[in-house]
Structure 1
Amino acid sequence: MSITSFTTLGVDQRLIDGLSEYGITEPTPVQAEAVPAILKGADVLARSQTGTGKTLAYLLPILQSIDPELKSPQKLVIAPTQELAMQIVREGEKYGQLLGIQVLGLIGGAALKRQVEKLKLHPQLVVGTPGRVRELIEVRKLKMHNVGTIVVDEVDQVFQLGGAGDVDRILRSALRDRQLVFLSATVSEETAALVKREMQNPVEIGIDPDQSTAKGLEHIYFAGEERDKMENLRRVIRHYNPKKVMVFVNQTETIGELQSKLNFMGLSAEALYADADKLARSRVLSGFRAGKFKVLVASGVAARGLDIEGLEMVINYDPAPDSEHYVHRAGRTGRMGRSGLVVSLVTNRQIFIMNKFAKELGITLAERRLYGGKVLEPRTASTMKAQSVRPKPAGASNGSKAAISGDGAAKSRSSKEEGRKASGPAKSKGEPFRGGKPTERQSRSEREQERKNKGAPKWLKDKKRP
């Protein structure tokens, strides 16, 4: 049985040496399947879990296929978000320089004039967001006549964000015999229709089609009341104590509020907004990567495609809108074969959503509870709770103490009775005096004693009684 390596896949030795410097010595399954197909020039549809090495699966072969002597754009990569596009640019620059290849990022939100100036430097690999790439094509600043390969990363998200028209226009502007490579963790009906329309005999790559999320992930959820959700979030973060954790919400309006509450609780947090400008996003993400704060609060859209090294855990403060969004959120952790934890906080009425995701994605999504500083299964937690509140059975030791107390009380009562018999009958409150006619001094003394004893406990009254 032959061992798959980057060498057997046909990867250039210069790239292999560069990979080894970053600790990458063996290809992932999606790389093992995609690299040879792309090197051959075939159209490819790759469906693989987020974080399995899809970026290098297409970057390595397209970089290797570029002619460094031809000073013109030859390969184009389209990404749905600014952040994902810039991540691809960074990877492209890292390995492209080994082959003498220039890389340029064209993203929305950045200065158009500056990008036009950089295009005059004739980069061979261009990475951009759909709207900006289309804009530069239409003003004839980005020349497509030498572009032989177009890659659309996270293709489903490109369509969700309204980029279908832009992609169609970009494809129309390229060579008729161009190579197409589409990659995504999920493949929608819209993507499948595009593949059928635009690709010729595509090579379909599906890594573990029945497993939509990476194998190294653990999926759990905590159920409780809506009013307790913030406190449960704090407890979960404190218990697991990850160096970095990403918290997802569904409504952009709640991001700032959640950030403020976490900081108030002593958990350093920052917010990532989908509509934030490039500088603001870059500042927040750089701080998060550097460990300057612990919690990054974001919407699913804002965090699509993010690759944060060392992210051990993601928390769905709001359950994902659907299983596809759950896959993309979960894909921020457990990347490249590493382990990761995905936690969802739900109300009792939302438990059915967790069961639905588990069924649709083919994963185990188990309920857990925090009790006594431990994370337990519901049955175990309920048993421990019941034992802690159950009254103690009357044991031998308790019985002995009770018996001792009973004997002591009996002896005390017996002594008091004997004392009362020796001193004569006792006078009860409200009873007439039956010991003969008292003297005026005695009556006054008894009245004074009664006044002093008023409101005192019975044992004290007995003690003070003359």
Structure 2
Amino acid sequence: MTFKQLGISDNLIKILKNNGITVPTEIQDKSIIEILNGRDVIGEAQTGTGKTLAFLLPIFEKISPCSKDIQCLIVTPTRELAIQITEEAMKLKEGKDIGVLAMYGGKDIGSQVKKLQGNIQMVIATPGRLLDHIKRKTVDFKKLKTIVIDEADQMLLMGFRNEIDTIMKERPKKVQVLCYSATMDAAVKKLAYRYMNDPVIVSIKKKEVTLENIKQEVVETTDRWKKDALCTVLDEDNPFMAIIFCRTKRRANELEIVMHQRGYNCKVIHSDIPQNKRERIMKSFRNADIQYLIATDVASRGLDISGVSHIYNYDIPEKVETYIHRIGRTGRAGEEGYTCLFVDPKDLRLLEEIEKEIKFAIPRRLI
């Protein structure tokens, strides 16, 4: 169906067209009508399938600029995701007098309190900062129409269960609840059903992993020689823009120090980096002022950056889905991508699991 047939107004269709979006994705096609009809929705779809617009578009159709009250609350696990959703919302509100406020730690709470006294209809928040406002009684959800729990699987993984419980107690009795997640396991469903009324389940089947545009290779090394192996590969490839994934914040920090010492243009991003610094780093990376972004999985969740030609898995991920999610950040929109995975002997079992899932024996790269 077209956006028009789904019930999206001409103004929003024009904004989408100006941003190069003309055809709804599968999750949008299945979600929008249900949300416009007022149903609670549990949406399961992989990152990169357009699920943010799947809930934002119908919410913008329903928000009334005439009412100055908060009508929509979107709760998301990380600051980066809050920023990304806010950026999408700011595009959609073009020409409409709708106030959108992002609430996350690292930003001055006083300025947020001041903005809340004005014209704010949509709040996009991380759980911790939202709870601060609830305790201070600086948010009023009496006229709330819709709550979105975004990336519910990550929310549970990061231990936000109690925060979500507290936040949901603040909602009015009659409120539409939308729960979106990349994976919908029993724990996520249990969380969703606690707060929902007869929800529609919209599940987009995981596509067969083709990864056709991505050349994959493995470098067999040892943990002791891994930094040298990575630098050898980087020198040979000299990519335009690349992300290097590490398993932990400590390993990411250690790698950044070594790469700086060796003269590489790189920055590290993870949850311990202050928010304003993270925003500056991401802006510099998007502008291609930084060649290498060293990242952990949680910090990179939801980052959609065009121009990333190479992905380097410095540490092998412990889940196959994480590997696919990482390497799917290159080879987008028909472009060729390249990914290299560094493994030491203890990683070989995980490598076998990845190869089995993607039905492909990843070629070894000799350096």
Q: TM-score, normalised by structure 1?
A: 0.73
Per-residue deviation, residues 151-177 of structure 1 (Å, max 9, x unmatched): 111111111222111111111111222
Matches of 2:214 and 2:47, distance apart in 1: 11
Matches of 1:320 and 1:120, distance apart in 2: 45
**What does residue 5 of structure 2 align with?**
8
Structure 1 residue 92 corresponds to structure 2 residue 89:
yes
**What does residue 182 of structure 2 align with?**
185
**What does residue 268 of structure 1 align with?**
265
**What does residue 244 of structure 2 align with?**
247
Q: Decide whether the 8 Å contact of 1:222 with 1:345 is kept in 2.
A: yes
Structure 1 residue 363 corresponds to structure 2 residue 358:
yes
- Determine helix, strand or coil for the equivalent of 2:311: strand
Structure 1 residue 351 corresponds to structure 2 residue 352:
no
Shift of the alpha carbon at 1:234? 2.6
Matches of 1:43 and 1:239, distance apart in 2: 51
**What does residue 152 of structure 2 align with?**
155
Instruction: Find 2:203's aligned residue among 203, 206, 222.
Output: 206
Per-residue deviation, residues 395-438 of structure 1 (Å, max 9, x unmatched): xxxxxxxxxxxxxxxxxxxxxxxxxxxxxxxxxxxxxxxxxxxx
Q: Which segment drifts farther, 46-55 or 309-318?
A: 309-318
**What does residue 113 of structure 1 align with?**
110
Matches of 1:239 and 1:187, distance apart in 2: 41
- Determine helix, strand or coil for the equivalent of 2:361: strand
Larger proportion of helix:
1
Matching residue's letter, 1:221: V
Q: Decide whether the 8 Å contact of 1:217 with 1:339 is kept in 2.
A: yes
Structure 1 residue 171 corresponds to structure 2 residue 179:
no
TM-aligned CA distance change 1:232 to 1:126, over 3 Å = same
**What does residue 57 of structure 1 align with?**
54
Q: Decide whether the 8 Å contact of 1:244 with 1:311 is kept in 2.
A: yes
TM-aligned CA distance change 1:107 to 1:358, over 3 Å = same
Shift of the alpha carbon at 1:340? 4.4
- Determine helix, strand or coil for the equivalent of 1:366: coil
Matches of 2:302 and 2:173, distance apart in 1: 29
- Determine helix, strand or coil for the equivalent of 1:115: helix
Question: Identity over aligned residues, as a percent?
Answer: 34
Per-residue deviation, residues 259-301 of structure 1 (Å, max 9, x unmatched): 2332344431111131221211111111111101110012222
Matches of 1:144 and 1:370, distance apart in 2: 56
- Determine helix, strand or coil for the equivalent of 1:94: helix
TM-aligned CA distance change 1:209 to 1:228, over 3 Å = same
Q: Decide whether the 8 Å contact of 1:216 with 1:339 is kept in 2.
A: yes
TM-aligned CA distance change 1:199 to 1:341, over 3 Å = farther
Q: Decide whether the 8 Å contact of 2:219 with 2:366 is kept in 1.
A: no
Matches of 2:344 and 2:293, distance apart in 1: 23
**What does residue 194 of structure 2 align with?**
197
**What does residue 390 of structure 1 align with?**
none
**What does residue 38 of structure 1 align with?**
35
Shift of the alpha carbon at 1:210? 6.0
Higher relative contact order (CA 8 A, sep 6+): 2
Q: Decide whether the 8 Å contact of 1:50 with 1:213 is kept in 2.
A: no
Shift of the alpha carbon at 1:194? 1.3
What is the aligned residue count?
A: 367
Q: Decide whether the 8 Å contact of 2:318 with 2:350 is kept in 1.
A: no
Shift of the alpha carbon at 1:95? 0.9
Shift of the alpha carbon at 1:106? 0.8
Shift of the alpha carbon at 1:328? 4.4
Matches of 1:201 and 1:334, distance apart in 2: 39
Structure 1 residue 80 corresponds to structure 2 residue 74:
no
Q: Decide whether the 8 Å contact of 1:130 with 1:166 is kept in 2.
A: yes
TM-aligned CA distance change 1:168 to 1:59, over 3 Å = same
Matching residue's letter, 1:129: T
Matches of 1:344 and 1:302, distance apart in 2: 19
Matching residue's letter, 1:283: R
Matches of 2:325 and 2:71, distance apart in 1: 30
Q: Decide whether the 8 Å contact of 1:259 with 1:269 is kept in 2.
A: yes
Matching residue's letter, 1:29: E
Matches of 1:16 and 1:30, distance apart in 2: 17
Matching residue's letter, 1:351: L
**What does residue 309 of structure 2 align with?**
312
TM-aligned CA distance change 1:309 to 1:187, over 3 Å = same
Per-residue deviation, residues 80-117 of structure 1 (Å, max 9, x unmatched): 11111011111111111333211001111221111100
Matches of 2:358 and 2:271, distance apart in 1: 29
Shift of the alpha carbon at 1:133? 1.1
**What does residue 415 of structure 1 align with?**
none
Q: Decide whether the 8 Å contact of 2:241 with 2:292 is kept in 1.
A: yes
Q: Decide whether the 8 Å contact of 1:222 with 1:343 is kept in 2.
A: yes
The two structures, once aligned, show a CA RMSD in angstroms of 2.4
**What does residue 230 of structure 1 align with?**
227
Matching residue's letter, 1:326: Y
Question: Max radius of gyration: which structure?
Answer: 1
Matches of 1:107 and 1:55, distance apart in 2: 18
**What does residue 133 of structure 1 align with?**
130
Structure 1 residue 258 corresponds to structure 2 residue 251:
no
Matches of 1:200 and 1:141, distance apart in 2: 28
- Determine helix, strand or coil for the equivalent of 2:290: coil
Unpaired segments of 5 or more residues in structure 2?
A: none
TM-aligned CA distance change 1:331 to 1:150, over 3 Å = farther
Matches of 1:251 and 1:371, distance apart in 2: 26
Shift of the alpha carbon at 1:125? 0.8
**What does residue 221 of structure 1 align with?**
218
TM-aligned CA distance change 1:355 to 1:200, over 3 Å = farther
Matches of 1:21 and 1:57, distance apart in 2: 18
